[in-house]
Amino acid sequence: MTPPPAGASRVQRVLGYVIASVIGLAIFSIAALLIGAATKQNTSVGVWQAVNFVPLLALPLGLILVLVLLGITFARRSRAAKDDGK
């Protein structure tokens, strides 16, 4: 009888939540920019400058974190497959 597969590690869960938060923040920022533009706000001054900058930073960071999570997951599955073969 084989043992059930182990669940996601703490690092994987935390990384998943960080990815969701970063990408969610970027989506929220893009939505705010669209609403601001639709209401004819000047989105180049004040707090809008920070709102403009968030997607430029958050989306590439989210992509890098997704790739890191995939790497961790593939390494763990590979290790588990090796252990099952012994």
DSSP 29-80: HHHHHHHHHHTT--TTSTTHHHHHHHHHHHHHHHHHHHHHHHHHHHHHHHHH
Mean pLDDT of 28-54: 93
Mean pLDDT of 14-41: 95
Q: What is the pTM of this model?
A: 0.81
The answer to whether residue 81 scores a pLDDT higher than 70 is yes
